Amino acid sequence: MEEEIRKLIEKFPIFQKISEEAFNISKKIEDEPFSEEDKARASLFLACDENSCAMIRKIPKPNYKILKRARKKTGIKPNIEAINWVDSICREINKGENVARTAKEILREYRKRNPADYYRYKPLTNAVAAVYIAGILCNEHIPQDELGEPFGIPSQTIRKRYKEIARKLGDYIDTQLLRYL
């Protein structure tokens, strides 16, 4: 199974921490009755999920049954907090601490004011939309197609989410953003 994990890491270069975590997870699920490739995918997927690695969207999603069993065996729950994904997104698109900090502030306020909407949508999608808004507010505008491409999120999805977040935050968002709506 380690060989399968190495193959996946070669296809989808990710951080060293993630690959080490994937090897640790693979040892916990090695006795599961699935193919080595399925177990390797599940191990890498769970390592990304646990460490909020935004490249999770580029990794082939593992079989649902092995993922469910691996989650149960390892105790790794799905990462539902959009805030946790911001640093990884900013690293991937080469945006600095200022954009990340602003995006996290936006998400905290959004979660506080609209918890149902915050948790209704995929965390990575919310995080990308918040990074888009933060890029505008920090004068580091990122085109939607360039922002979504590394994470497999269509620009129209980003557009829809960022507009909704901006409208629901209203007075919290700087008026500079309004020209992009």
pLDDT of amino acid 156: 94
Please give the tally of structural domains in the chain.
Answer: 2
- For residues 100 and 156, membership in a common domain is answered with yes
In terms of domains, do 66 and 105 share one?
A: no
Domain that includes residue 135, residue range: 82-180
Same domain, 60 and 88: no
**Do 161 and 117 contact (CB within 8 A), yes or no?**
no
What is the per-residue burial (b if ≥16 Cβ within 10 Å, else e) of 50-64? bbbbbbbbebeebbe
What per-residue confidence (pLDDT) applies to 9? Answer: 63
* Co-location of 65 and 90 in the same domain: no
What CA–CA distance (Å, rounded) separates 174 from 130?
A: 13
From the number of C-beta atoms within 10 Å of its C-beta (0-12, 13-18, 19+), residue 167 rates as exposed
- In terms of domains, do 175 and 113 share one? yes
The whole-number pLDDT of residue 126 equals 94
pLDDT at 127: 94
pTM for the whole structure: 0.72
Rounded Cα distance between 48 and 79, Å, is: 10
Shared domain for 144 and 113, answered yes or no, is yes
Residues 88 and 43 in one domain: no
Q: Residue 159 corresponds to which tokens in the numbers above?
A: 């557009």
What is the per-residue pLDDT for 55? 67
Q: What is the largest CA-CA distance in the chain?
A: 56
Residues (pLDDT < 70) of the chain are 1-2, 5-17, 54-58, 172, 174-181
What's 87's domain CATH number?
1.10.472.10
Q: What is the pLDDT of residue 160?
A: 94
Same domain, 67 and 89: no
> Is there a contact between 151 and 124 (Cβ–Cβ < 8 Å)?
yes
Statement to judge: residues 57 and 90 lie in one domain: no
Are 169 and 86 found together in one domain? yes
DSSP assignment string, 31-75: TSSS-HHHHHHHHHHHHHHHTT-GGGGGSPPPPHHHHHHHHHHHT
Residue where one domain finishes, among candidates 17, 44, 74: 74
